[in-house]
Amino acid sequence: MNFLLILTLISIIVRSRQENASMDPCNDFYDYVCTNDTRSITKLNFASLFDDREILKPNISFPNNGTYIALDQILEPDRLMKWYMTVKSLDTATVDLEYFFETHYEYISKKNDSEKFSFAVETLENVNLTLTNIFYNSLYANIKVLNQLNLPAAEENKFLHHISNLLKNNTIEEIWSSSLSNKSKKVLDEELNNSKVFFGLLDYNNVTMLEETKLVYETEYYRLKSLLSSDDLDTEIAEKILRLGAIDTATKYLAKRIPGYEPEFLFSAFASNMENEAFKHNSAIYAGIVTRSDLQQPMLAIADTVSVLAHELMHFVYPSGTELLTPNVTKAAKKCTQDEVKRMGDSDVVKPIDGWFSKKVTHEDLANIMGLRMVMKMVARKSASEEQLKNALETLLSGLCIQGKPKNSILPHHHPFEISINTAVRQYPLFSSLYGCRLGDRMFAEAEQFCKPLGGEVNLEDYKIKNDTEDIGGFFTYIMDTANAFNFSFRN
């Protein structure tokens, strides 16, 4: 054998060991499940949200009698500022929460409306014209996409809201069975009970309503335009303010049609309908399904939704409700989670890029740990064998696999997805016993390493199948039976 051949053989052996090691559930559960991902994620066909789309002229015209109003009369400074912030928040890759806090505090320190207006105008430099037109672009895109997809039309999708209520109830139960103070439990219960969920492209997906909203936007834009002098109209700032003014009116119109949600929430929701997104904004949760899933594999699409909702519901605690917990509990939970995430990141065969770790985003990993634990308790109640527990865990993970991106890619304001997910699985208290993982395996956590996000000990019994559970085929069989009972399908 010559030297090169030996080297090649060694490298083949090393590589196959690595590949095989990564398909070991005790080494990398994400890879173990996701190597079998056969989903074909729904591809939407729509014009870019970042096109400088011309605003159509409605049939009404607004003649001007020769008197003009000043630019600062188009929109009150508070609303101008609010819409600046909302529009800017879509630019997630470049800004974080601190930027919004700082800008907000600087704004409220201004003494009078004219100072406030000047400050708002200054901040508007930070967004380009296209971004100020993004609501119009997204209405256009939503109409186009809804006409292409044959989705079931509804105000609220009954089945999906049933699932979100089920998860909400279980989150409330988690809170009540925790060691939080009664006062904190009450506050969280009330907040969760009052929270609302909006499913992108599946709730309020009435095309006519969106066409009407688009016409409201166009009409308001041209009405406001007719009030400005040609000198003002020559400036870029005037164009931005006009568009934000049209957003203000159009989202208010939409909020009347879709009661219970703030206009800013609806703005972000309809803009997010084209993206692979989910978020919590004050007391409302947005969840995209269509753009994240393969609608030909409804069980995996629903599994993804279950994971996403559980994550967003946990954000009521971390970070929104952190002040309701005692500082020693949150401090210990954060430290534990950070250690876990670092351990998983540093030991991955695919190393994330330098500087990937940030303490500031620990609440995202906590939401994953808490969300998965809650769902696995729900799974336990519907499972009659350990095989069914494993099936449910694998189904949950299969719905989450990322496609078309290198593993451990940097995500804005989160740790790399695969690391955070593997951390949550490692922190699922029954994981190692189900898969036979042992001390020293990457996915094996010792009992002392289990994080305690709400204080209180981890109780293994909560996760175990009960001997008297009737065999209904496991958690996702139950979920799909429920879907059938609601006559639910992703096709109209």
Residue 162 interacts with ligand NAG (CB under 6 A): yes or no: yes
CB distance 197 to 309 below 8 Å: yes
Sign of CA dihedral 203, 305, 283, 272: negative
Minimum distance from residue 354 beta carbon to ligand NAG (Å) = 25
Cα 241 versus chain centre, distance:
29
Closer residue to ligand NAG (CB): 11 or 193:
193
The residues in 18-47 that bind ligand NAG, with binding defined as CB under 6 A, are: 19-20, 32-33, 36
The SS3 call for residue 25 is coil
Residue 153 interacts with ligand NAG (CB under 6 A): yes or no: yes
Residue in the shown chain whose Cβ atom is closest to Zn ion: 364
The residues in 107-146 that bind ligand NAG, with binding defined as CB under 6 A, are: 111-112, 114-115, 128, 130-131
Closer residue to ligand NAG (CB): 186 or 357:
186
Q: How many residues bind ligand NAG (CB under 6 A)?
A: 37
- Pattern 310-349, binding to Zn ion, x per CB under 5 A? ----------------------------------------
Exposed, middle or buried by CB within 10 Å (0-12, 13-18, 19+), for 475? buried
Pick from 6, 50, 403, 433 the residue near ligand NAG by CB under 6 A: 50
CB distance 371 to 40 below 8 Å: no
Structure tokens at 97: 């929460």
* Spatial separation of the C-alpha atoms in residues 490 and 480, rounded to whole Å: 13
The SS3 call for residue 451 is coil
Q: Which does 162 bind (CB under 5 to 8 A by kind): Zn ion, ligand NAG, none?
A: ligand NAG
* Spatial separation of the C-alpha atoms in residues 309 and 280, rounded to whole Å: 10
Closer residue to ligand NAG (CB): 313 or 415:
313
User: Position of tokens 């380009």?
Assistant: 128
- Pattern 394-433, binding to ligand NAG, x per CB under 6 A? x---------------------------------------
Residue 174 Ramachandran class (φ > 0 left, ψ -120 to 50 alpha, else beta): alpha
Exposure of 266 in the CB half-sphere (CA atoms within 13 A): 24
* Spatial separation of the C-alpha atoms in residues 277 and 270, rounded to whole Å: 11
Residue 322 interacts with ligand NAG (CB under 6 A): yes or no: no
**Residues of the shown chain interacting with ligand NAG in the complex, contacts defined by CB under 6 A:** 16, 19-20, 32-33, 36, 50, 59, 65, 67, 91, 111-112, 114-115, 128, 130-131, 153, 162, 165-166, 169, 182, 190, 193, 206, 208-209, 212, 326, 328-329, 332, 394, 455, 467
Query: Which residues in this chain contact Zn ion in the complex, by CB under 5 A?
Result: 364
